[in-house]
Amino acid sequence: MVSARVRAALAPFGVTLERDGGAGPRPNAPALHALGALPPGSIALITGASGGGKSTLLRALGDQLDRQGEGVRRLEATRLARSRRRVIDLVPGRLRHALGALARAGLGEAGLLARRACELSEGERWRLALAIGIARGGTWLLADEFCSVLDRETARGVCAALARWVRSGTGRLVAASAHADLAPMLGPDLCVRVELGGATSLRRGLPLRAPSIRIEPGGIEDYDALASLHYRSGRPATWTRVLRTVSGRRTVGVLVESRPTLNAAWRDLPWPGRFTRGDKRARARRLNRELRCISRVVVDPRWRSMGVARRLVEAALSSRPTPGVEAVAAMGAFNPFFERAGMIPYPAPVSYADARLGDALEHAGLSARDLIVGWQADRAGRDPLVRRELRRWAGSSRATRRLVGQPWGAIARAAGVRLAMRPVCYAFAG
């Protein structure tokens, strides 16, 4: 129904309404056909001045694909700005699937999982929108006003995450933006330029232009500058070498190498008996002589999904001072950059102390994940069986003995984190 007010406003100018009630330019048919014919794994970018018809063309494509029964997902970061739901709750699917989607979108940072969407930066909301699109699946991803309000560094990171996902599968991306400089960041197979008045021009096969970065020796102060971005913000107990990734004058990524811990049961998988023979002193000398541990890898959020972490690990392996290198990654199952760099993954074994405490928690009707919530941890500390097993667990290893004498809730929270985390161990033997 068209109101009398609308008719009165348009009639003096000779403007007519289409059957769907819209007044405005029709999308260019050749451009619409070219976009609809994109093969799997392709990217298209619609650019042009504001008001030229980019959004109209994208909407027409979406309507056409919907009529054809194609699986269409629309990336809508602006809606997330009003959402108070937490990040991990917004990504559909089973937990492992959701965490993997977040990692692929460049949000594989533990500190962000419980943040509310409305608390995220614009760049993080675009990455969250991408993670939701990845998790939901679909044949087509459509993104209007793509990266319109982002600074160029953040936009480059979002483009890299999106392009990597599209190229690795059978999906297609069509993004519309007034920023033509997104083309070298996405490397689109098709670029549609929409001029004021509705005329369009098509260009194919625009090259991807990777940013220039270099990897060089750094210092612990480089890690300190980025430490707050890591879920374990404190310094590692030791450090023997620091590598940093630099773009221009900015440090965008840091890797820290440390001396290995004396005891790690999983080492017998890649190096059977090598570091378990002899007395403690002999083992310590052999470990320090033959092994280094990558204890921290942290990347500026704007540069995630651009291969910075993988390249740092590759650089560390190629210039390693010892025959062997190891690493333990809490997010290894969802963000396997150590594996991509050439390291071999091994499952972390469950210790006897952890297994015993897990059985006690199950008997009390609790899970390890419950204990990371403060009031649940305090509740666990009031159960006599759990309290006894928490005391035994805290005194079972050097790593946890510092907890002995702490309040029960504090011990329970630490135990919950330890038992719930199933890291992936990595080894590289030259």
Q: What is the pLDDT of residue 2?
A: 76
Mean per-residue pLDDT for 94-123?
A: 86
* Region 290-308 average pLDDT: 92
Greatest extent of the chain over all pairs of C-alpha atoms, in Å: 96
Range with top average pLDDT, 116-130, 356-370, 385-399, 414-428: 116-130
Query: Which token pair is 108?
Result: 């594989």
Q: From CA 270, how far away is CA 289, in angstroms rounded? A: 17
For residue 26, what pLDDT is reported?
64
Q: Specify the pLDDT at position 19.
A: 55
Amino acid at site 156: R
pTM here is: 0.79
CA distance linking residue 66 with residue 46, whole number of Å: 19
For the CA atoms of 84, 90, 95, 99, what is the dihedral angle to 10 degrees?
Answer: -100
Alpha carbons within 13 A on the beta-carbon side of 295: 23
As a three-state string, the secondary structure of the chain is CCCHHHHHHHHHHCCCCCCCCCCCCCCCHHHHHHHHCCCCCEEEEEEECCCCCHHHHHHHHHHHHHHCCCCEEEECHHHHCCCCCEHHHHCCCCHHHHHHHHHHCCCCCHHHCCCEHHHCCHHHHHHHHHHHHHHHCCCEEEECCCCCCCCHHHHHHHHHHHHHHHHCCCCEEEEECCCHHHHHHHCCCEEEEECCCCCEEEEECCCCCCCCCEEEEECHHHHHHHHHHCCCCCCCCCCCEEEEEEECCEEEEEEEEECCCCCCHHHHCCCCCCCCCCCHHHHHHHHHHHEEEEEEEEECHHHCCCCHHHHHHHHHHHCCCCCEEEEEECCCCCCCHHHHCCCEEEECCCCHHHHHHHHHHHHCCCCHHHHHCHHHHHHHCCCHHHHHHHHHHHCCCCCCHHHCCCCHHHHHHHHHHHHHCCCEEEEEEC
User: What mean pLDDT is predicted for residues 289-295?
Assistant: 96
Per-residue pLDDT band for 321 (boundaries 50, 70, 90) equals: very high
First to last CA, the chain: 74
Residue 263 has pLDDT above 70, yes or no: yes
Asked if 247 and 212 touch (Cβ cutoff 8 Å), the reply is: yes
CA–CA separation, 173 and 186 (whole Å): 10
CA distance 389 to 394: 8
Average pLDDT over residues 56-76: 91
pLDDT band at 24 (very low <50, low <70, confident <90, very high): low
Rounded average pLDDT over 220-240: 88
Residue 374 has pLDDT above 70, yes or no: no
Percent over 70 (pLDDT), the chain: 94
Residue 33 reports pLDDT greater than 70: yes
> Kind of pairing, strands 190-194 and 200-204?
antiparallel
pLDDT > 80? residue 73: yes
* 265/340: higher pLDDT: 340
269-284 tens-digit pLDDT = 999 988 888 788 888 9
What average pLDDT does this structure show over 394-405?
83
> What is the mean pLDDT of the segment spanning 71-98?
89
Residue 20: pLDDT above 70?
Answer: no
pLDDT at 267 over 80: yes
Least reliable range by pLDDT among 16-20, 85-89, 325-329, 422-426: 16-20
Whether residue 347 has pLDDT greater than 80: yes
Q: Give pLDDT, residue 109.
A: 76
User: What tokens appear for 118 in the block?
Assistant: 């409305």
Question: Tokens 């378990």 identify what position?
Answer: 276
Phi-psi region of 48 (alpha: psi -120 to 50; beta: other; left: phi over 0): left
Range scoring the smallest mean pLDDT among 55-59, 100-104, 309-313, 399-403:
399-403
Query: What is the C-alpha to C-alpha distance for residues 90 and 83, in angstroms, rounded to an integer?
Result: 9
